[in-house]
Structures are given as structure tokens and as C-alpha cells.
Amino acid sequence: MEYLEKFNQFKESITYKADRISVNDKVIIRNFDFESKFYSILPGGKGNEISLDNLMSCNKHKPESEVIKELSDIKDADITENKNFRYHVMMPRGEIKSKNILLFFHGFNEKFWMKYFPWAQYILEKTGKTVILFPIAFHMNRAPALWSNSKEMYSISKQRQQRYPNIIASSFSNVAISTRLHHNPLRFIWSGFQTYYDVIELITSIKTGLHPIIHTDAKIDIFSYSIGSLLSEILMMTNSNGYFSQSRLVSFCGGATFNNITPVSKSILDNEAHECLLLQLGINLENHMKKDTKLYEYMENSPEGKNFRSMLNSDTFIVYRENKFNEISERIYAIALKKDKVFPFKEIINTLKGRENNIPIRVDILDYPYNYSHEEPFPVKENIKHEVTEHFKKTFDLVCDFLTQ
């Protein structure tokens, strides 16, 4: 079956409502509820009640509409969708307790899993691994429906374009996340921590025998795409409770430090939000840590915080980061795309192989003969469907070969 046909098949059949969805005679999808125990670390939560207006916002303009005010000033800890949500598990039909699983992490500002289902199915059918598609905080179904309301978001995008005449890549697709991060860049850090702890909680439930379909002794590997690779690297570097001591990680179109990526795209962020993030999470982060005791506690006194800091800025903890990657180099494989403008392949190499190019992490640079982008490495277009299917299979054969070594 062509990649395009698989994509359309999933588009018509996947929902969060059903507990069990049949994909074919070999594969099913199960949906499970998850309750985050770590939402209180978010802005507005207990111990993190610092007024958003007193934070380091790059946005010097007052909100002009109730919708913008809701996006900007809402207490993140109060957003119900981010605290209680469902996640997909794709598994072999007939399997009772999976003993090999793959955590699957998506990209920045993603709202739907559709493009990833064919990826997950291919990995499952080639490796036999059950795939857990776990959403990052405030992404996918962890975000209010308003943020995906095209009419409302189009209006806000127009307002941002008027307020910032030189803005680049503002769109109804990215205006919610751009507005929120522009107003409070620390949201990126706190939502990252929440996601990290949610993943650890998920694995703890598995290891303690509480997960209904995953075996206590299951081997855990990771596949990540784009910004999901930042999360994956922090998980691998920290190795909480030894959960990832034997894990393999495949990073696709990701892996570079945050300051060396360019996520300015109508699908990801506008340039005003991106420039604000670079300034406040890079140059000014140390100053914010001095003013915010909770931020200091998490970023300075926890191993995951130190690893997070090392991946935000390529000039931070260089020796520490490269020693970490050296230690786990045999268990990491990265695939970069030659024409990727969001995660440039040179920056992925500089991060994973180190400044002296002496860390033995395998990084393959691929190029496809059709018009592709970071956001759409496998375009669902009728006129190139054969070429897309061919290179999709070649790419994910590399993924699966590494995961089964």
C-alpha cells in the first residue's frame, strides 16, 4: 500500500473516543487515560504563582482582545485538557502484555497525530514493538479546542501582524503557541518539565505492574521527531531510575541544541516568538534563575534540569553534554534531511558528534528527490506518491534496523 493510502486510511478511522480501533488483521490501536500529577509546576500552580506580567515577556504591547488575553494570561496549571487526556498505543493484535515498546514523541506545535500513524505502523510491523504515541504538554489533545479554532486564531494572527509590521510566518496555525510563548517564554521550560515527569510517571506505572497491556519487564526504546528529540535526549541523558540504561533512541529531523534550530514557520512559530525564546531561554536564563527560586531549584539542583539547560544553548555545559553523549553514543542514531531548514543537518551533527566531531554517534544525512520540508518529509500528494512511498520505506528501514540491533 502506498504511503498516501495509509495516511488517508488513518485519517478516516482514528479517534480518541473509542477504547479499541482496528487497523488491519495484525495491528490495533488502544486508547488510555492519563492524569498528569505534575501540572502544579506550571505557571499559576502551587509554588509557581509569579504574576505573568512580572515575567520577562518580550511582548511590550497590552493584549487587545479577550481571546488574546485568554491565551496570554490564563494560568497554565488550570488548563484541564493538559491535566487529563488520552494517549494512543499501537500494538500487535492478540498480544496481551507487550514486552518490547517504543515511546514515540512528535514535533513542535503539533495538533494531530495523522502523519505519524503510518510511521508507527511501519515500525511496529518491522520490529514487533508496541508503539506508545505520547503527547507533549499543550500539544495534540492536551490543548484547548480554542487554540485550533481557525476563525479565532486567524483574527489573532491578523492582530499580531498589525502590532508587529515586520513579523514573519504568523498564521492561524501557530498564533496560539506564538502568542503564549511570546508573552511568557518560561512556559517552554515548565511544560518541558511537566512532559518529562509525565513520561517518567508512565514508565513507573509500567515497571510497577500497573499498566494493563505492557509487561513489567518491557524493554523501552524511543523514536523522536523534531522537538521531540530534545525531550528524548534529556530522558536518555538523565536515565531516571535506570529506566533507559538499555534503551535505543532514533532521532529523525531533530537532535540539535535549541539555540541552533530555526522553527520560524507558519506551522511552528512566528519570528517574534522565536527571537523572544532565544533571548530569554539563552542569554537571559541565568538572570531569571537568580530572580525565581523555583526555576533555580529545578534547573540547578536536578539532573534533568542540568541536562535541559545543556540542550537549550550549545555554549552551556559543553564538556558535560558531550561526555553524556559519549557515554550513550552506541545507543543513539540520528537521521537528518539535507534540505531541512528547521533542524539543519550541520547543527544536528555539531550537537551529537561534538565540536571536535569525535563522538561516535551515527548521523545519516538523507535527501529526497521530491519537494519536501521539515514539517512534511513525506508529502501526501498524488503526483509523487510512488517516490514518497519508496523513500519513506528506505528511511524507516534504517530506523527499524537500528532498533532491532
pLDDT over 60 (residue 211): yes
In total, how many domains does the chain have?
1
Cell of 176: 496560539
3-class SS shares of the chain: helix, strand, coil, % to 5: 50, 15, 35
Region 119-144 average pLDDT: 97
Element (H, E) at 307: helix 303-312
CATH of the domain at 238: 3.40.50.1820
What is the average per-residue pLDDT within 352-358? 96
Is the CB of residue 223 less than 8 Å from the CB of residue 248? no
Is the pLDDT assigned to residue 128 strictly greater than 70?
yes
Q: Is the pLDDT of residue 70 over 80?
A: no
Q: What integer best gives the mean pLDDT of the chain?
A: 94
pLDDT at 54: 43
The whole-number pLDDT of residue 84 equals: 98
- State the Cα angle at 260 between 256 and 263, rounded to 5°: 95
Q: Which residues of 174-186 are buried (b: 16+ CB within 10 A; e: fewer)?
A: bbbbbbbbbbbbb
Whether the Cβ atoms of residue 104 and residue 116 lie closer than 8 Å to each other? yes
Mean pLDDT over 382-396 rounds to 98
Q: How far is CA 238 from CA 26, 137, 195, 242, in A?
A: 35, 19, 14, 9
357: left (phi over 0), alpha (psi -120 to 50) or beta: left
Q: What's the domain range around 51?
A: 3-403
Assign 352 to helix, strand or coil.
Answer: helix
Confidence of residue 60 (pLDDT cuts 50, 70, 90): low
**What local confidence, expressed as pLDDT, does residue 31 receive?**
97
Q: Predicted confidence band at 391 (pLDDT cuts at 50, 70, 90)?
A: very high
- Residue 201: the pLDDT is 98
CA distance 263 to 265: 6
pLDDT in tens, 248-260: 999 999 999 999 9
Residue 147 has pLDDT above 60, yes or no: yes
| pLDDT (mean) for 311-318 | 96
**pLDDT-above-90 percentage for the chain:** 90
Of the pLDDT bands very low, low, confident and very high (cuts 50, 70, 90), residue 51 is very low
Is the pLDDT score of 59 beyond 70?
A: no
Whole-number pLDDT of residue 73: 81
What is the pLDDT at residue 49? Answer: 59
- What cell numbers appear for 402 in the block? 537500528
- Is residue 57 over pLDDT 70? no
Task: Please say if the pLDDT value at position 53 is more than 50.
Answer: no
